[in-house]
A = this chain, B = another copy of it.
């Protein structure tokens, strides 16, 4: 049971939410959890990782590919569609009038039942809808689909219709190029094609090809479709679509099965339109020939490996168990496990929200999951930053700085997709100047931090030699040119920044930022030493003619101001003069709101002049640098900042969970963990900021849920040398058990109320040192160790 996510009944209000909740994907393609009969108004989307387009002066965003699962069903001429049958609550039966084609005859159709579900284990989406038609037939539509993990260009769908009576069945299915866009339309010069076996045989492939507007990149969506029970069909070509109409006579109790193999190909590597089209056609046809069962079986094999590398068992808390699995599912479907050219956008592959851009979310909230379970994906994520270094250097130069200023919102080139105006003022409708792009400089430190994490974790210096050291060095150069020296106080300072708490823009000496910059400087110095040893030529190239040399970075590292805990209160001030801001409570602040979507930050936002923070800021620093601060400091700052935190970001709650666990108060942390782990299940997250729609999936929260469980409650840490376990299970949990990959070996760790068990398979390359509580032990290959 705890592998299935399920919703019964149909509620039009929840279409957008379910589109996110029932997402499928394979890291290359993301397909929203909409129904086959849905169109652009219901936000159907097929997102291709790394494919972006810009129209005019509008925001640059992912391209929504033509929808290859578009399907309409008619029973004796009457359309069967949850949407047109109207609103049915779970178990209810509603009767609505439905239009057939363009005819205006009102024929009544009833939705008897409807269910949408997601099988997390195999990453398969299912829907089943039963209709009662005017002629008294009960017609069940069942569809299941997956984005093939084995063939990343492929979406496979099996569509079944079964009726309690004989009747005429018409299925119109194909590729619909009239898609949902936020800032589109992105695809132009759309052309349809029918390849092979004209008008008849099974492996005829239809396709829809187009180009993006900005760069003219070609894209083709192709479909092979087969109805097992035969019947006639004809091809319908319209301006923005190509579909097949299948006419069948359906006998009572004999299911009609339609299998669709949809291939999506885009010219991301310079392929011509012809090459792209040819590939898409070939892929669809090959897949069609393999058949559904074979395709599903190879797909499921991939997923078995994913889960065996990552699945967590929680004993005693079914809800947490499911939510954690679901969180990992969401990460798996968007993980670029076979590409280092893309990373994970803040809304995954769930649409065009946030411009499909990669934020710091990836390094700070998602990277740990991959690092501990699939380090090769973690490396891919950081290689994406290596590949986008040029964009980061362009951004630094644009602002007059040296080195690399990474994009706040990064797409395929690393140029910043973030605009200067991000939110519209709800009172005037005017775009509001925000400073995400200009001032959230910690992004460059976050990138360097991520690179160092991968290096330290794997002990493998290839990432550094392959460009990682250069990235860290360029980020350090950026900070040197960004920083200032305070002559009076004889220290470097980082001025005019926005920290994680975006409600306070343009502050000085944000503790988190300064600490991250200090870390970045250290990483750059260390990474450059490694580069010097591994590739002295490149090392010398990087320093030749550079006005900034390692001694400058070292000086800044040594004299950089990082706000310290106060000796009495143990509090760390979030930034200079934070304490002078008005100290209101969150309810007080919210009571002043005049509009439900008004942005609390920006120029005149209500929070800007108060101590209310959007999300963990100081507390995030305490998590990242947990060794630098004692428990009393962590507790004091948690207690001070949490009541002042709006948690207006989905990145906030997990950090409070982590630090609560770290200070031995897992039950304090538990609600924050649950809030994080269920965010895409409940759909309760913030949907609007100003008039900006920000819905979609929340991979950073998904990663945060994993962190809270494994790094927080199980208390695991690995520093490249030894693993430390300091468990702190919430009361509800009897045990947690999970696999990890540490230092090249695999381990299965079980933390229960009785003790800790660590199992190492025989083929592990070496033994690993563990510290559990105050005991130190070594776990050799093929051994299982239990500590009470």
Identify the A interface with B (CB < 8 A): 400, 402, 420-421, 425, 427-428, 430, 432-433, 480-481, 483-488, 492-493, 495-496, 506, 508, 547-548, 552, 556, 576, 592, 594, 602-606, 608-609
What residue in chain B is nearest A402 (Cβ atoms)?
A: B488
Q: Is the CB of A604 within 8 A of B430?
A: yes
Query: Shortest CB–CB separation between residue A543 and chain B, in angstroms?
Result: 16
15 contacts between A and B (CB under 8 A): A402-B488, A420-B609, A427-B427, A428-B594, A430-B604, A430-B606, A432-B604, A433-B604, A480-B487, A484-B493, A484-B495, A487-B556, A488-B547, A495-B495, A602-B604
Interface centre among A488, A496, A508 (most CB of B within 10 A): A488
Cα A487 to Cα B480 in complex, Å, equals: 8
**Chain B residues whose CB sits within 8 angstroms of the CB of A432 once the complex forms:** 604
Q: Is the CB of A484 within 8 A of B481?
A: no
Query: B402 touching A433 by the CB < 8 A rule?
Result: no
From the candidates B480, B506, B602, B606, name the one contacting A488 in the complex (CB within 8 A). B480
Would A487 and B488 count as touching, CB distance under 8 A? Answer: no
Question: A430: shortest Cβ distance to chain B, in Å?
Answer: 7
Is the Cβ of A481 less than 8 Å from the Cβ of B488? yes
- Asked if residues A487 and B487 are in contact (CB atoms below 8 Å), the reply is no
Task: From the candidates B481, B487, B603, name the one contacting A604 in the complex (CB within 8 A).
Answer: B603
Report whether B485 and A425 are in contact in the complex, using a CB–CB cutoff of 8 Å.
Answer: no
Nearest-neighbor residue (CB-CB) of A605 within chain B: B603
* Cβ–Cβ contact A495 & B493, under 8 A: no
The 4 closest A-B pairs by CB, nearest first: A603-B603, A484-B484, A603-B604, A427-B427
Q: Which residues of B contact A485 (CB under 8 A)?
A: 484-487
A433 near B608: Cβ-Cβ < 8 Å:
yes
Which residues of chain B are near A506, meaning CB under 8 Å? 506
The distance in angstroms between the C-alpha atoms of A552 and B486, with both chains bound, is 12
Among A481, A556, A603, A605, the most chain B Cβ lie within 10 Å of the Cβ of: A603
Residues on the B chain within 8 Å of A433, using CB = 604, 608-609
Residues of chain B with a CB closer than 8 A to A487's CB: 480, 483-485, 492, 552, 556
- Select A425's contact among B481, B547, B548, B604, beta carbons within 8 Å: B604
> Given the complex, which residues of B lie within 8 Å of A496, measured CB to CB?
495-496, 508
Query: What separation, in Å, do the CA atoms of A556 and B493 have in the docked complex?
Result: 18
Question: Shortest distance in angstroms between A488's beta carbon and chain B's nearest beta carbon?
Answer: 5
A428 CB contact (under 8 Å) in B427, B488, B552: B427
**Minimum CB–CB distance for A249 against chain B, Å:** 64
Contacts of A480 in B (CB 8 A): 487-488
Could you say which residues of chain B place their CB within 8 Å of the CB of A481? 488
Chain B, Cβ-Cβ closest to A609: B433
- In the complex formed, the residue of B with least CB distance to A430 is B604
Give the docked Cα–Cα distance between A552 and B483 (Å): 21
Give bound CA distance, A402 to B489, whole Å. 11
Which residues on B sit within 8 Å (CB–CB) of A603?
602-605, 608
| A548 in complex: contacting residue of B484, B488, B576, B592, CB < 8 Å | B488
Residue of B with least CB distance to A477: B488
Selected from B400, B486, B547, B608, the residue in CB contact (under 8 A) with A484 is B486
Q: How far is the CA of A402 from the CA of B496 in the complex (A)?
A: 21
* Distance A430 CA – B592 CA, assembled complex (angstroms): 10
- List chain B residues, Cβ under 8 A from A493: 484
Residue of B whose beta carbon sits closest to that of A425: B604
* Additional A-B contact list (5), CB under 8 Å, known A484-B484, A488-B548, A495-B495: A402-B488, A433-B608, A480-B487, A485-B486, A603-B603
| Chain B residue at smallest Cβ distance from A493 | B484
* Nearest CB in chain B: distance from A421 CB, A: 8
Complex: how many Å from CA A278 to CA B515? Answer: 67
Q: How long is the Cα–Cα vector from A594 to B508 in the complex, in angstroms?
A: 34
Residue of B nearest to A429 (CB): B594
In Å, the complex CA distance between A552 and B487 comes to 9
C-alpha gap A480/B592 in the complex (Å): 41
Give Cα A341–Cα B480 distance, bound, in whole angstroms: 48
| Smallest CB separation, A659 vs chain B (Å) | 29
The chain B residue sitting closest to A548, CB to CB, is B488
Residue in A484, A486, A548, A576 with the greatest tally of chain B CB atoms within 10 Å = A484
Q: Which B residue's beta carbon lies closest to that of A555?
A: B487
Report the bound CA distance from A488 to B483 in whole Å: 9
- The residues of B that contact A430 with a CB separation of less than 8 Å are 592, 604, 606
Q: Which residues of B contact A604 (CB under 8 A)?
A: 425, 428, 430, 432-433, 602-604
With both chains docked as a complex, state the minimum distance between the C-beta of A268 and any C-beta of chain B, in angstroms.
32
Distance, CA A223 to CA B166, complexed state (A): 110
CA distance A402 to B493 in the complex (A): 18
Docked Cα-Cα span, A556 to B548, in Å, equals 23
- Which B residues lie within 8 Å of A483 (CB)? 487
Q: Which residues of B contact A592 (CB under 8 A)?
A: 430
Q: What is the distance, in angstroms, from A9's C-beta to the closest C-beta of chain B?
A: 41
B residues in contact with A556, CB < 8 Å: 487
Q: Which residues of B contact A425 (CB under 8 A)?
A: 604
Instruction: Tell me, rounded to whole Å, the shortest Cβ–Cβ distance linking A128 to chain B.
Output: 50
Q: Which residue of B lies closest to A582 (CB)?
A: B420
Instruction: Using CB atoms, name the residue of chain B closest to A481.
Output: B488
Bound Cα distance A370, B606 (Å): 46
Q: How far is the CB of A763 from chain B (nearest CB, A)?
A: 52
CA distance A556 to B488 in the complex (A): 11
In the complex, residue of chain B having the shortest beta-carbon distance to the beta carbon of A594: B428
The residue on B at minimum CB distance from A592 is B430
A700 to chain B, nearest CB (A): 28
Chain B residues with Cβ under 8 A from A609's Cβ?
420-421, 433
Q: How far is the CB of A363 from chain B (nearest CB, A)?
A: 26
Smallest CB-CB separation from A401: which chain B residue? B488
Residue of A485, A556, A605, A606 with most partner-chain B CB within 10 A: A485
Complex: A346 Cα to B552 Cα, angstroms:
48
A593 to chain B, nearest CB (A): 10
Report the minimal beta-carbon distance from A403 to chain B, rounded to whole angstroms.
10
Minimum CB–CB distance from A283 to chain B (whole Å) comes to 46
Q: How far is the CB of A586 from chain B (nearest CB, A)?
A: 18
Q: Give bound CA distance, A485 to B493, whole Å.
A: 10
Q: Which residues of B contact A606 (CB under 8 A)?
A: 430
Report the minimum CB–CB distance from A440 to chain B (whole Å): 17
Among A427, A602, A604, A608, residue most surrounded by chain B Cβ atoms (within 10 Å):
A604
Q: How many angstroms between the C-alpha atoms of A485 and B487 in the bound complex? A: 7
Please give, as numbers and ranges, the residues of chain B lying within 8 Å of A484 by CB-CB distance.
484-487, 493, 495
Distance A340 CA – B606 CA, assembled complex (angstroms): 43
- Residues of chain B within 8 A (CB-CB) of A605 are 603
State the CA gap A483–B488 with chains docked (Å): 9
Cβ distance A224 to chain B, nearest Cβ, rounded Å: 52
* Nearest B-chain residue to A438, judged by Cβ: B577
Report the Cα distance A592→B428, complex, angstroms: 10
Question: In the complex, which residues of chain B have a beta carbon less than 8 angstroms from the beta carbon of A428?
Answer: 427, 594, 604
CB distance from A560 to the nearest CB of B (A): 12
CB proximity of A32 to chain B, nearest CB, Å: 35
Chain B residues with Cβ below 8 Å from A608 are: 433, 603
Q: How far is the CA of A689 from the CA of B425 in the complex (A)?
A: 20
